[in-house]
Amino acid sequence: MTNKKEIQRRRTFAIISHPDAGKTTLTEKLLLFGGAIQVAGAVKSNKIKKTATSDWMEIERQRGISVATSVMGFEYSDIKINILDTPGHQDFQEDTFRTLTAADSVVVVIDVAKGVEPQTEKLVKVCRMRNIPIIVFINKLDRPGKDAFELLDEVEQKLHLTVTPLSWPINMGPGFKGVYNNFSKSLTLFTPGKQVVEDGIEINDIMNNEIDDYLGEDADKLREDIELVEGVYPKFEVNEYTEGKLSPVFFGSALNNFGVKELLDNFIQIAPPPIGRESDLREVEPEEEQFTGFVFKIHANMDPNHRDRIAFVRIVSGTFKRNTYYHHVRLNRKLKFSSPTAFMAQKKSIVDEMYPGDIVGLHDTGNFKIGDTLTEGTNLNFKGIPSFSPELFRYVENASPLKAKQLAKGIDQLMDEGVAQLFTGKHTGRKIIGTVGALQFEVIQYRLEHEYGAKCRFEHITLYKTVWFRSSNEAQLKDFQARKANQIALDKEGREVFLADSQFSLQMAQQKYSDIEFFFTSEF
């Protein structure tokens, strides 16, 4: 029964947003409440330039953006919370898409002034496809922004979500007075520049004159707003939310630590405990006794001094135990892990047991790839971890001939992380790196130099798409391979890929070779 109890007290969620909406700041404040950190990374004093706990890679500190998903776990009110802080920048959306496969619910952060931005639309679309429960947190209420009703309309129209506000702001910008929590019937007052969290004042009846003592002339405006909210938006039902049909909305200011506690208190009440995952054989439920889990992320050099490589495994069912042999399905091998780790950003602690919903870090010597499944013996594979066809391509050349080995090792390990994809020309042997965003080239170059001591340069190549292909028509396949020999490369797994230099050449190939199937993702 311990397993069932442990499952019920776990919440694993991802935080997603457009860059600069305050996602990493919100993560920090959630960690503060859990006692996981003692001081927030972003402080107002310019004399103390600290960096966010979850943005620990050197390049993240320099650029002020998150480029890799951080995993953090902490305890709050006897609930074990696992946060996956994802990159907001669109050039790293692949990492975010893969991370969503490990999350049971999502918090979407929206900037009150900017509203819904394009990157948020893309990410929420993925969540909707998977029916992931979504909570919306509207941030930066201490700054001037859009009207609350206007913002909710925008969220409904652009993100195609059915929303219901569980808290409501009293003004915003310089006149921001606080938030009324419609769920717990309490009022929390905002004091500018004060980051101490005040307990909400219980107000069971908003019509009561007591609220006028706190809000003065704004009390009537709040009553009108709440009356309108209750008339326009659907009543909050937990099962509607857990099925992904209804999204509760909270308002606050993460930087000022305001509205975050309300979000967290409500979150642990309504967010779903770990849910099952679809495999190629059947749906695997968390309560099953046998351990199963899948790798959704690999990170090299979390500790640059030790050149370590960590595979992040989401536990789906059973109990993961240290020093126990588990079956690596793809390799058909038994592996044992002597130092599995739990995370607080890059701080790690060795653990003996972990349960469904938890993220365990396994030291990897090159055995794992993204999407790999570990089990207690069953031969099943979890589905749905995508690998996308890249949008941008460059030849990668060695800029330091004496460091060829380091360069090869660095590229090999970074590609395993899913940072980008590597293709090797079948005839030329030239290496091509494909990414979904331009910033990734910069990150690869930086990490190769600073983590592997290797320098590279990129050369331009005109490519439209890389597409995987297969066919049961041997004659047609051989003709295609012969005629397009100079445009065929091998991916990291040794599978053949067609390098289409234009949309036209791809369309012509599809028309001429009608028995060949072309794929834009490597999941086929």
One domain for residues 51 and 156: yes
CATH of the domain at 473: 3.30.70.3280
Is residue 454 included in any domain, yes or no?
Answer: yes
d(CA 184, CA 250): 12
- pLDDT of 40 reads 45
One domain for residues 164 and 21: yes
Is residue 384 included in any domain, yes or no?
Answer: no
- pLDDT of 36 reads 53
One domain for residues 262 and 356: no
One domain for residues 309 and 214: no
Residue ending a domain, among 375, 406, 436, is 375
Q: Are 37 and 53 in contact (CB under 8 A)?
A: yes
Beta bridge partners of 498: 467, 488
Is residue 14 included in any domain, yes or no?
Answer: yes
One domain for residues 87 and 218: yes
Query: Hey, what are 389's tokens?
Result: 């066809």
Task: Give the containing element (helix H, strand E) for 80.
Answer: strand 79-85
Residue ending a domain, among 316, 347, 375, is 375
One domain for residues 260 and 365: no
- 41-64 residues labelled b (16+ CB within 10 A) or e (exposed): bbeeeeeeeeebbbbbbebbeebe
Residue ending a domain, among 270, 293, 324, is 270
One domain for residues 261 and 288: no
- pLDDT of 134 reads 96
Residues of the chain with pLDDT under 70: 1-2, 34-70, 87-95, 193-200, 202, 204-205, 300-308, 344-348, 384-389, 522-524
Is residue 202 included in any domain, yes or no?
Answer: yes
One domain for residues 365 and 486: no
Surface-to-core class of residue 162, CB atoms within 10 Å of its CB (0-12 exposed, 13-18 middle, 19+ buried): middle
Q: Which domain holds residue 511?
A: 392-519
One domain for residues 342 and 488: no
Phi, psi values for residue 361, rounded to 5° = -100, 125
DSSP type of residue 204: S
One domain for residues 203 and 312: no
Is residue 450 included in any domain, yes or no?
Answer: yes
Is residue 380 included in any domain, yes or no?
Answer: no
Is residue 383 included in any domain, yes or no?
Answer: no
CATH of the domain at 355: 3.40.50.300
- Ordered DSSP codes for 85-103: E---SGGGHHHHHHHHTT-
Strand arrangement of the beta sheet that strand 517-519 belongs to: 456-460, 392-398, 431-435, 421-425, 488-490, 496-500, 465-470, 517-519
- pLDDT of 302 reads 55
One domain for residues 299 and 419: no
Is residue 71 included in any domain, yes or no?
Answer: yes
CA Rg, the chain, in Å? 25
One domain for residues 369 and 425: no
Provide the number of structural domains found in the chain.
3
Q: Give pLDDT tens digits for 253-271.
A: 988 888 888 899 899 999 9
